[in-house]
Homo-oligomer: A and B are copies of this chain.
Amino acid sequence: MCASCDDTFASPGPKSELEEGMALTPRFGADGLITAIATDAATGDLLMVAHMNAEALKKTIETGEAWYWSRSRAALWHKGDTSGQIQTIVEMRIDCDQDAVWMKVKVGGDGGSCHTGRRTCFYRAIPTGRPVEGLTLEPRDAGKLRPAFG
């Protein structure tokens, strides 16, 4: 499959149209992907950062549920298909240069989004305002809802 030569979406125009226009012309990278970010529609918490190719983006828009491109499995991935953790989109947006999408989602099943079994992939804080040498991460929202996948 050649995601970058997919003709589902029109090609990006000049910068002014890309940034100020109302046409969806996603800028897929050399790998055929854009960045996809899911936040919890109720709390605003960042749940996960993943990627979409043209097919995943189209399916997400049309179904109102998050589909991704799994880089590790090199496969289209309907989030929650086996786990029940379906991400239903409350609102979807695209950024200025159209290479990233933001989805505010409501998560099904046990409410988790991370393959480690947690609600969010961002379960460790980086302390700031101090030298990086000897720095130790700190747990946040680190409780597991279920065992890890894979």
Contacts and interface: CB of A to CB of B under 8 A. Distances in A.
A125 interface: yes
Interface residues of A, number: 56
Contact of A44 (B44, B58, B115): B44
A35 B50 CA distance: 10
Interface in A51-84: 58, 60-64
B93 A140 contact: yes
Nearest to A89: B128
Interface string A91-132: 111111000111000000000001110100111111111111
Interface string A127-150: 111111001111110000000100
A22 interface: yes
A130 B49 contact: no
